[in-house]
Amino acid sequence: MFEINDTFYSALLMMWNLEGQYIDIILLSLKVSLTALIISCVISLPLASYLSIKNFFGKSLIIITLNSFMALPPVVVGLFLYLLLSWQGVLSSYEILYTPTAMIIAQTIIIIPIVAALSKESIDIYFNKYKDYLISLKISNFKIMKTLLWESRYTLIVNGLAGLGRAFAEVGAVIIVGGNIAELTRVMTTAIVLETSKGNFVLAMSLGLTLIFISLILNFSVYFIKKTDELD
């Protein structure tokens, strides 16, 4: 009991003092996950809005694929990406295996189906609500997509936060393509796995508490965004 209390106290002290190794891991995690989220949203939001307003051959297949890939095991993403980026892979010439870039690509692949599928459902609601009005204006599909993205902005932010939470929690794919290299590719989740196996519970707990803190921030953000949406 005393050992647990001492570890917890030491972990809090490490967080308060922003010790070097701890803060480096946090900053890299933020860099990788936020970059992956931005890239995912740039791809997912236009795709989701286009799927909402247009009917074309293969649309159902794309939607089913996105919904299926929401549950895609991250280690599978890591495996296929590793095979592409390794020295025998078709993308080996880029030499990005075991770098933050490879981790960003892995997280982006994992996040895109989540943000796209959720956003498509959100945009569908607004499109069905304003469909007749938008069609009567005889504006371009691009302007319709912009209008729908703006009208559903609060819900889309929530969807983005869901993707960000998924990115922060990722272990399997990033450890395969990142290698968990100190001061280069070691993020919060992979560091927790390593430090726990080494018996360094202070650093592991400090990172774990940070992940819990980030989760609380994301959930409070979702709550207030939904409240704002209801007021509007």
What pLDDT, in 10s, does the model give residues 72-96?
899 999 999 999 999 888 998 999 9
Please state, in angstroms and as integers, the Cα–Cα distance from residue 119 to each residue in 89, 140, 151, 202, following that order: 33, 21, 12, 39
Residue 3 has pLDDT above 60, yes or no: no
Average pLDDT over residues 99-106: 96
Q: What is the pTM of this model?
A: 0.90
Q: How far apart are CA 83 and CA 20, in angstroms?
A: 34
Share the mean pLDDT of the chain. 90
Q: Structural domains in the chain?
A: 24-231 (1.10.3720.10)
* pLDDT, tens only, 157-170: 999 999 999 999 99
* pLDDT, tens only, 201-230: 899 999 999 999 998 998 898 888 878 777
What local confidence, expressed as pLDDT, does residue 1 receive?
45
Which of 156, 75, 84 lies closest to 114 in space, CA to CA?
A: 156
